[in-house]
Amino acid sequence: MMFAAMLFAVRWRQLRIKTGPEYFQLRFHSGRKFVRVYTSLSSVLIGIIPWIGAGLLGIHMVMAPIFHFSNISTTLLLVLPLLIVYVWIGGFAGVLLTDLFQSCVILLANLALVVSVLYCFGGPSGLADAVAADVQVLEKPGRGR
């Protein structure tokens, strides 16, 4: 979706379009209702449902060892009501704020990972030497790739 946005953003700006439905209204005069329904259904079936499923499975994988849950049903019975209340109260602004915080956490975690890896290998040159040594081991005769 990010790649598609980069491709179409300039053209949409030229056409003064801000949303997908606006584009479909301009592009597909006769079949625009079909295109809107198709786009909505494909977004839900291909994008949202697997995303939510993967997120709930991830929550279970984190919560199960901590709280000693034996099955995913227990996790879902605890998590889903909390998520529904959160989304109901927070609305779109709450989701945006949460995404902002999650993005900051992800960026900081990646930065910490980079720093810890560089520290562990003794800086960029030590990391480069370790990678070069591993490449030489892989390139020895008798070791296939």
Q: Locate tokens 């602004």: which residue?
A: 93
Q: With 70 as the cut, is the pLDDT of residue 140 above it?
A: yes
Q: With 70 as the cut, is the pLDDT of residue 127 above it?
A: yes
Candidates 93, 85, 108, 1; CA nearest to 51 is 1
> What pLDDT sits at residue 107?
95
Q: With 90 as the cut, is the pLDDT of residue 145 above it?
A: no
Mean pLDDT of 50-60: 89
> What pLDDT sits at residue 8?
80
Reduce the DSSP state of residue 43 to 3 states and report it. helix
Triad 125, 111, 5: Cα angle to 5°:
115
Backbone angles phi, psi at 108, to 5 degrees: -65, -40
Please tell me the distance from the alpha carbon of residue 132 to that of residue 126, in angstroms, as a whole number.
10
Considering Cα of 67, then 72, then 77, then 79, what sign does the dihedral take? positive
> What pLDDT sits at residue 122?
93
pLDDT tens digits along 65-113:
888 888 889 888 988 898 888 778 888 788 788 889 999 999 999 999 9
> What pLDDT sits at residue 1?
66
Confidence of residue 44 (pLDDT cuts 50, 70, 90): confident
> What pLDDT sits at residue 144?
52
Count Cβ atoms below 10 Å from residue 95 Cβ, excluding itself: 12
Asked whether the beta carbons of 62 and 51 are under 8 A apart, the reply is no
Please tell me the distance from the alpha carbon of residue 130 to that of residue 98, in angstroms, as a whole number.
38
pLDDT tens digits along 18-29:
877 777 778 777
Asked whether the beta carbons of 137 and 143 are under 8 A apart, the reply is yes
